[in-house]
Structures are given as structure tokens and as C-alpha cells.
Amino acid sequence: MDVPDLTDLIALFEDAPTPAYDDLEWPVGRHTFRLTRERTDVRFSLDPAAGEAGIVIAADGQEIVHLGRIRPVERLSITRDRSGAESLRLWVPAVSTEPLVLSTRPTIAVMWNVRAAGQW
């Protein structure tokens, strides 16, 4: 998996990740980044070696989005524009030709267009 430098991810989430296991250092194992904007929290978990990610968003303490075991993640990229907006893009070609976008600034949001699972 193609992953941005850890320092860039720390800058995006404004804090270092927490490893799932104390004896595993980046990039081995699952690591969770946390960020809060106003009353919205996001937890972004990433296991670079396994190519797996997860996103949980809560508003006012209530979980509103839970995307677990997003895989296989092919690559991640960070975007920043002139207005100050920042986001993390996850490329999951097995599910979509467009990236999953996790906005971290100015607000926390998630956007993803996926292929249809079947006929409706």
C-alpha cells in the first residue's frame, strides 16, 4: 500500500496515532488516529501492511458513521487546497474507481461513491 509519510498523517490528524498493540511500531499493525472538530469526532484506523482501514465518526457522542474493514486499500493521499480544506483519500479499486474522501478540515465528513452491489 502506498501511504503518506507518518509526519504528514500526524499533521492531518493533529496528533500521533495510537497502536493497537504497544509492541508494534509504525507501519506494522493497526494504528488509530483521532481528531475532533467542534462536536464531531473521527477515528481513522489503518493497518498499512494488511491494506486495511476503518472510519468511525461520532457527533455529540453518538456514532453516525461506521465503515469497518475497508479493504484492500491500494493507496492513501492527502489533499490540501488554498481555502485551507484538508482531506485524506483512500483508493479502494475493488469497490470503486473513485476514492473514499475523509474530510478533516474545515469539518469532518466522509464521501464515497461505490459500485452497485446488484440490481435494484
pLDDT of 120 higher than 60 = no
Written as one letter, the residue type at 31 is H
Q: Count how many domains the chain has.
A: 1
Cα 115 to its chain centre, rounded Å, is 19
In a domain, 33, yes or no: yes
Q: What is the mean pLDDT of the chain?
A: 93
Give me the domain span that covers residue 22. 6-111
Q: With respect to residue 117, please indicate whether it lies within any of the assigned structural domains.
A: no
Integer Cα distance of 118 and 120 in angstroms: 6
Q: How confident is the model at residue 96 (pLDDT cuts 50, 70, 90)?
A: confident
Q: Model's pTM, two decimal places? A: 0.92
Mean pLDDT along residues 60-76: 96
